[in-house]
Amino acid sequence: MFQDHRLIPEFTLLENVTLPLEIAGISAVEARTAGEGALERVGIAELANRYPDEVSGGQKQRAGIARGIAGNKRILLADEATGALDRKNSFSIFGLFRELADAGFMVLAATHDQGVSEFADEIIGMEDGHLVAVGAEARS
């Protein structure tokens, strides 16, 4: 998942979520089911048939997150995935990442938001591209 949602403007949010699944060979029906489920998990299922220019920046970001979690992926890489979200929605998304990790996903999230550290098993602190802290030291 990208810091910028990278949605295709001519596609609905659902189409943006399902396209990578269909390209990977998943049937349109299965992709749609997975896409609808992912949009539900990020709290924007009611916006499935809207286009990116018809929704807010935070909703676009959540659609990008839905695209990242849809399907049978086992590894999730998130680069500032919640940067455009308010605190409540950021915590909701990191709660979802925690659920995914507990279900066996490997979730690696880069963020400047130290408030979400409670959701992590491991914290690695970086400054100017250099490792500065690991574990409990990085939480403070």
Let me know if 5 is exposed, middle or buried by CB neighbors in 10 A (0-12, 13-18, 19+). Answer: buried
- In the chain, the number of structural domains is 1
* Token duo for residue 8: 């295709």
Q: How far apart are CA 81 and CA 122, in angstroms?
A: 18
Q: What is the DSSP string of 27-55?
A: -HHHHHHHHHHHHHHTT-GGGTTS-GGGS
H-run or E-run covering 99: helix 87-102
Which domain covers residue 53, as residue numbers?
Answer: 13-139
Give the model confidence (pLDDT) of 54-68 as tens digits. 999 889 988 998 998
Which residues in the chain show pLDDT less than 50? none
Instruction: Determine, yes or no, domain membership for 61.
Output: yes
Strand partners, 76: 107
Instruction: Determine, yes or no, domain membership for 3.
Output: no
Give the model confidence (pLDDT) of 101-122 as tens digits. 998 889 998 888 888 888 888 8
Residue 103 belongs to domain with CATH number: 3.40.50.300
Q: What angle, 0 to 180 degrees and rounded to 10, lies between the N-to-C axes of helices 57-69 and 87-102?
A: 0
pLDDT value for 12: 98
Q: How far apart are CA 91 and CA 97, in angstroms?
A: 10
Predicted model pTM: 0.81
